[in-house]
Amino acid sequence: GLDYFTDKLKSVKVEQDSKGISLPQLQSQPRSQHHVQPEVQDALALGRPIVALESALVTDGMPPPTNLAVGRACERIVREGGAVPATIALIDGRVKVGLSDAELERIADWSVEGSSGGTGRGKVSRRDFAPAIALGRTGGTTIAGTMVVANLVGIKVFATGGLGGVHRNGQNTLDISADLTELGRTPVGVIASGIKSILDIPRTLEYLETQGVPVLTYADNNTFPAFYARDSGCKSPWNVNTPSLAAQILYNQFHHLSLQTGVFFAAPVPEHAAYNGASIQAAINQAVKESEENGVSTRGKDVTPWLLARVMELTEGKSLQSNIALIENTSVIGAQVAVEYARLTK
């Protein structure tokens, strides 16, 4: 199982090559030379701060050329904050922890395999790894998928944009993002800007409660944010507003209590970039309505990318500006939390 993978990773003397570190126990499988970049491997060995970054937002969440620019910006921001960025993706059937710029470029190009132009075909979640590795596929890891890999290699802080959730009418369709169950069973701290109101936010919070996931607003109040907007109308059970408190919570969860459950920090979009307008609410409602009419709302992993792309179209790209700002903001916080967390676990 996964413990086997992790134990092996710790105990096996790994070989280093130009592409990174090979994990020998997986090399007997065709196309299964997974790679942890040397920089990430060193940081893991030395207990230095590391921030995991997802790649589904590059392959599916935002259109070119913004997706590549944002992917690069997040890595740069994490570095500037004194942590090592580890963008996680699946490339030719190999799990990559830390991407080269060429690899990032490749998955950001919507004309090549693995990037899917908002159709969802490139998304890699927990259920997809085993088949996608066997078939040599390329794709972007969702929050759930990124958490799986981060946890396997020992990365505990992960920054991204928007969490998946319970979809509207999810009580009937059972469309509930695997991000929520992943938080319930994988000990990684996730920092995001809340949940888009393409989703059912109150039910998403209920589901996270059922999964036993600590949910905190990262601010001086417990207003739960809704991605573009700073206030969803819901409250978080908790709030913290410093990296050291956030790191202490992760330490309590993972070390002190050894709970095998993630932690969710919801960092509101910066005030100057917030988008509370009636126009975005109207666009979201229209996109959801259209998805129900044209049947997309029942098409599994396609639903979220389709809605994201449609909202962007309907707002003529204006929503993209807050999208960029909020991801850059969570990258800043991710680095700060990772620095404090490394201090506690040294």
| Footprint of Mn ion (CB under 5 A) | 175
**Is 123 annotated in the active site?**
no
Partner in contact with 331, chosen from Mn ion, ligand PSU, none, beta carbon below 5 to 8 Å by kind: none
Secondary structure (3-state) at 279: helix
Does 103 sit near ligand PSU (CB under 6 A)? Answer: no
Strand partners of residue 266: 192, 217
If you write DSSP's letter for every residue of 114-176 in order, what string do you get? T--TTSSTTEE-GGGHHHHHHTT--EEE-HHHHHHHHHHHT--EEE-S----BBTTHHHH--B
Would residue 257 be called left, alpha or beta, if left means φ above 0 and alpha means ψ between -120 and 50 degrees? Answer: alpha
Rounded to a whole number of angstroms, the minimum distance from the CB of residue 235 to Mn ion is 25
Told to check if 267 binds ligand PSU by CB under 6 A, we report no
340 binds, among Mn ion, ligand PSU, none (CB under 5 to 8 A by kind): none
Stretch of 17-25, 68-76, 242-250, 301-309 lying at the interface with ligand PSU (CB under 6 A): 301-309
Distances in whole angstroms, Cα of residue 86 to Cα of each of 1, 120, 144, 329? 23, 22, 15, 17
Q: Minimum distance between the CB of residue 303 and Mn ion, rounded to whole angstroms?
A: 5
154: region left, alpha or beta (phi > 0 left; psi from -120 to 50 alpha): left
Active site (annotated) includes residue 103:
no
Cβ–Cβ under 8 Å, residues 195 and 208: no
The residue (of 56 and 104) whose beta carbon lies closer to ligand PSU is 56
What the block records as the tokens of 251 is 């330490």
Specify the residue, 185 or 343, whose C-beta has the smaller distance to Mn ion.
185
CB-nearer residue toward ligand PSU: 44 or 229: 229
Each residue of 173-191: b (16+ CB within 10 Å) or e? eebbbbbbbbbbbbbbbbb
Q: Distances from the Cα of 125 to the Cαs of 59, 146, 151, 154, 182, in angstroms? A: 13, 8, 14, 18, 10
Q: Which two tokens stand for residue 58?
A: 């590059």
Binding partner selected for residue 336 from ligand PSU, Mn ion, none, CB under the kind-specific 5 to 8 Å limit: none
Q: Which of 207, 224, 227, 254 binds ligand PSU (CB under 6 A)?
A: 227
Determine contact, residues 303/175, Cβ cutoff 8 Å: yes
With CB under 6 A, what is the number of residues at the site for ligand PSU? Answer: 17
Among 50, 74, 143, 208, which residue interacts with ligand PSU (rule: CB under 6 A)?
143
196 binds ligand PSU (CB under 6 A): yes
> Per the omega criterion (within 30 degrees of 0), is the bond before 65 cis?
yes
Question: What residues from 160 to 179 belong to the interface with ligand PSU (CB under 6 A)?
Answer: 161-162, 164, 177-179
Interface with ligand PSU (CB under 6 A), residue from 35, 96, 301, 310: 301
Q: Tell me how far, at minimum, the Cβ of 124 lies from Mn ion, in Å.
A: 14
251 binds, among ligand PSU, Mn ion, none (CB under 5 to 8 A by kind): none
State the nearest-atom distance from the C-beta of 34 to ligand PSU, in Å.
20
**H/E run at residue 88:** strand 84-91
**Please, which residue, 177 or 223, has the CB nearer to ligand PSU?**
177
Radius of gyration (Cα) for the chain, nearest Å?
Answer: 19
Report the interface residues with ligand PSU, using CB under 6 A: 54, 56-57, 61, 142-143, 161-162, 164, 177-179, 196, 227, 301, 304, 308
Give me the active site residues, please.
54, 196
